[in-house]
Amino acid sequence: MAGIAAGGSRRSALAPYLLLAPGILYLLAFYLVPALSLARTALSPETGPWYGGLQHALSDYGMHLVRSFQYALTATVLAALLGYPLAYAMAFRAGRLKNLLLGLVMLPFFTTFLVRTLAWKTLLADEGLIVRALGALHLLPVEGRLLNTVWGVLGGLTYNFLPFMILPIYVSLEKIDRRHLEAAQDLYGAPASVFRKVVLPLSLPGLLAGSLLTFIPAAGDFVNAELLGTPNQKMLGSVIYGQFLTVRDYPLAASLSLLLMFFILLLVLAYTRALGTEDLA
């Protein structure tokens, strides 16, 4: 009996690792191995010193890297400003319409990313309704147009990644115990004070998760810059795409990809360290 109990105890101890094994194997096969292959190509001695490819990539395309982060950060801020009020309304004010609004937020996922961006290109056309309406209100940028401008690229990035901001914030707000809100209303009274001192701090994990889910893919995106911008708005993802598939300069393309991954990782670590990662939604 003691042996059977010991065997059962060992199997119980191994169970978590066996459950994790498929995910770990998947990450090893489809993340770690490609990342090591990318690093090997980027650090190839064909370009001179082992760091030559990285140095060349940073010196020649550093502006594209900065532009990518600028656009991604701006799109993340815009998505937060647009997404938080909607997530708040869905969590606390929607009532029976909550499921409908949640479905509408998820609806864009039923259409491919490319088709959504092409639709945005049609909406921002010079003779489109949006341009005419903004022109009548004298709200257009200096160029007098939206397509092939910075605003067009930022609009496309914000639109395409907005659901990734809304959903984590909504989940975080939905988890708030309503008794906390009732207590906060007794303590602070004014709705603005309740929001600032209770709701916003408790929803920060969702805001953090949504910011990461928006910023990371936006920084590496190239579709919006290609379709909604000009060469003046080209992001690093566009350069990497061209180097891999058109120029076929694989060491340079790998070096650019490695730099993008490295700087994104640094920014994410700094961001999560500043805001904390406890109880991420």
- Average pLDDT, rounded, for the chain: 86
Choose between 276 and 25: higher pLDDT.
25
- In Å, what is the CA distance from 166 to each residue of 43, 45, 116, 199, 216? 39, 45, 18, 16, 15
106 with 22, same domain: the answer is no
pLDDT of residue 268: 87
pLDDT of residue 142: 66
pLDDT at position 179 over 90: no
87 with 187, same domain: the answer is yes
pLDDT band per the 50, 70, 90 thresholds, residue 65: very high
19 with 79, same domain: the answer is no
pLDDT of residue 196: 85
27 with 128, same domain: the answer is no
Across the range 80-106, mean pLDDT stands at 91
pLDDT at position 266 over 80: yes
Q: How large a percentage of the chain has pLDDT more than 90?
A: 40
pLDDT band per the 50, 70, 90 thresholds, residue 4: low
Alpha helices in the chain (DSSP H): 2-27, 33-42, 52-92, 98-106, 113-123, 129-136, 150-174, 178-188, 191-194, 200-219, 223-228, 236-242, 250-275
239 with 193, same domain: the answer is yes
Q: Residue 53 falls within a domain, yes or no? A: no
109 with 169, same domain: the answer is yes
| Of the candidate ranges 57-71, 79-93, 126-140, 159-173, the one whose mean pLDDT is the lowest | 126-140
**Residue 156 CB contacts under 8 Å (≥ 6 apart), including other chains:** 117, 120, 121, 224, 227, 228
Query: Are 42 and 53 in contact, with CB atoms under 8 Å apart?
Result: yes
Across the range 36-47, mean pLDDT stands at 80
Q: Residue 55 falls within a domain, yes or no? A: no
Provide the number of structural domains found in the chain: 2
Structural domain for 17, as ranges: 1-42
pLDDT at position 85 over 80: yes
pLDDT at position 71 over 90: yes
pLDDT tens-digit series, residues 128-155: 888 888 888 877 776 678 888 999 999 9
Q: Residue 193 falls within a domain, yes or no? A: yes
pLDDT tens-digit series, residues 148-174: 899 999 999 999 999 999 999 999 999
pLDDT band per the 50, 70, 90 thresholds, residue 281: very low
Q: Whole-angstrom Cα distance, residue 240 to residue 219?
A: 12
Q: Whole-angstrom Cα distance, residue 134 to residue 220?
A: 30
204-207 LR contacts (CB < 8 Å, sep 24+): 204/172, 204/275, 204/276, 205/172, 205/277, 205/278, 205/279, 205/280, 205/281, 206/87, 206/168, 206/169, 206/170, 206/171, 206/172, 206/173, 206/281, 207/80, 207/84, 207/168, 207/169, 207/172
pLDDT at position 79 over 60: yes
21 with 114, same domain: the answer is no
pLDDT at position 52 over 90: no
107 with 182, same domain: the answer is yes
Q: Whole-angstrom Cα distance, residue 85 to residue 202?
A: 15
* Pick from 260, 224, 268: nearest CA to 240: 260
Q: Whole-angstrom Cα distance, residue 183 to residue 176?
A: 12
Q: Residue 51 falls within a domain, yes or no? A: no
pLDDT of residue 19: 85
Q: Whole-angstrom Cα distance, residue 73 to residue 2?
A: 60
pLDDT at position 3 over 70: no
pLDDT of residue 165: 95
105 with 198, same domain: the answer is yes
232 with 192, same domain: the answer is yes
Residue 105 CB neighbour total at 10 angstroms = 19
pLDDT band per the 50, 70, 90 thresholds, residue 50: low
pTM of the shown model? 0.85
Across the range 85-109, mean pLDDT stands at 90
pLDDT band per the 50, 70, 90 thresholds, residue 11: low
